[in-house]
Every structure is written in C-alpha cells, then in structure tokens.
Amino acid sequence: MNALSFLLLVLAAIQGGTAEAVEYTFNNRALTTSGGVRYQNEIGESYTLQTLNLATQFIWTLFQQNNPSDRKNVQRVSLFVDDMGGVAYTSNNEIHVSASYVGNYSGDVRIEITGVLYHEMTHVWQWNGNGQTPGGLIEGIADFVRLKANYAPRHWVKPGQGQKWDQGYDVTARFLDYCDSLQNGFVAQLNKLMRNNGYSDQFFVQLLGKTVDQLWQDYKAKYGN
C-alpha cells in the first residue's frame, strides 16, 4: 500500500479570529480499478484534501457558524475512494466515494466530484434534529450547499419542479433556495434550530410566518407549476 495514501494534512481554518484545526485524511483503496486510477489521475489527493477544507469553511460561513461553539466537535474527516456502487455516502465523519461512479462519469469528473464532496461534507457538519429530521430535508440541505457553492450539475431539476417539498436532493434544494430568498440566512437558522430542538414543520412558520405546505404552493406558483 502506498504510504502516501495515509498522508495526513492538517489545515487550519480561521473563523472569527479563532484557529480551529480539522485533520483530513485520504485513502484511495480502489487503485486496482479503472475508476480508482482515474480518480488518482484526474482529481488526486492534494486537490481532494484542499476541497475538503474549502468545503468546511464554506459550510461554516453559510451556516453562520462563526465560533467553534456553534459547530459540531469534529476533529478529523477521512475520505476513502472505494470499489463500490452508488455515488458517495458519509458515516461517522468518513466520506466514501465510488470509484465505479468516477470511472463511468462522462464529463469533467473533477468538477462533479467537487460538488459531491461539498454535499457529503455538509453531512459531516449539519445538525439532524437528534435524528428526527426527515431524510429528504437532510439531503436537500446538503444539495442546497452544493447549489450555493455553484456546483449544481446540469441534470438537476429546474426551479419549481418536483412533487413535494421534502422529496430530497435537488428538488428540496431548489425549494430551500426559494425560502432563503424570502429571508436571507433561513437555511442557517433552520439548521440551528435542529441542533437542540429535534425537528418540526413548525420551524418554517417560526422563521417565515407560513406553513411549509403554503410555502411549497407559493414556490410552485412562482414558477408556473
């Protein structure tokens, strides 16, 4: 195994005048696959570690988490490129990226995986209402971050499309972007409420003065859907 696969890069993110170091590790465990090799050649370890750090700082800013006390106490995030299906998943501050997805992706794979990493890093830092938040909203917030970072892919739904507000991913991300346009920082405040208060649809009423169902109807009407 290449010793560099476990190279530890410590990057200090300066937020609010306080230095908070998060350690990032990288391990490409799929170098025997074409996707693993493509990841190494077209994305690489250095770019990945840099992207993880930039994503963290972007999320802290977007979520208005200017002080360490506002954030989760995460000291290390590890990324693995694995021989697996799907695209990527995050568990216990570990991000797993599919070498198969990388290998089969037609297009600029570095840009695509950058967006994927912003999504997955959001799962590291976001609050989940003590496990009570609907999965569709969790995934929607992660895609909202990807959207605001300007890494939304072309195949995403257009604003106003979708069947329900908590459908997840791009559908919910577009809806949250609409809500955020009504009150700048809405998603940051929603995330903050989910830290210690579980989850309730009433959070939308509390922050925007309308039920989430009414907001969804307004959103659909705005875009002629």
Q: Over the stretch 20-33, which tens digit does the pLDDT of each residue have?
A: 689 999 999 999 99
Q: Which helix (H) or strand (E) holds 41?
A: helix 34-42
pLDDT of amino acid 20: 66
pLDDT of amino acid 225: 76
How many angstroms separate the CA atoms of 137 and 190, rounded? 11
User: Which residue matches tokens 């695509």?
Assistant: 112
The strand ranges marked E within the chain are 8-15, 18-28, 76-82, 88-91, 94-98
Question: What are residue 52's phi and psi, to 5 degrees?
Answer: -60, -40
Per-residue pLDDT of the chain (225 residues; tens, 9 = 90+): 444 433 333 333 333 334 468 999 999 999 999 999 999 999 999 999 999 999 999 999 999 999 999 999 999 999 999 999 999 999 999 999 999 999 999 999 999 999 999 999 999 999 999 999 999 999 999 999 999 999 999 999 999 999 999 999 999 999 999 999 999 999 999 999 999 999 999 999 999 999 999 999 999 999 987
User: Which residue matches tokens 């830092």?
Assistant: 125
Distances 222 to 1, 152, 225 between C-alpha atoms, Å: 55, 21, 8
How many angstroms separate the CA atoms of 51 and 121, rounded? 10
Query: pTM, whole model, 2 decimals?
Result: 0.90
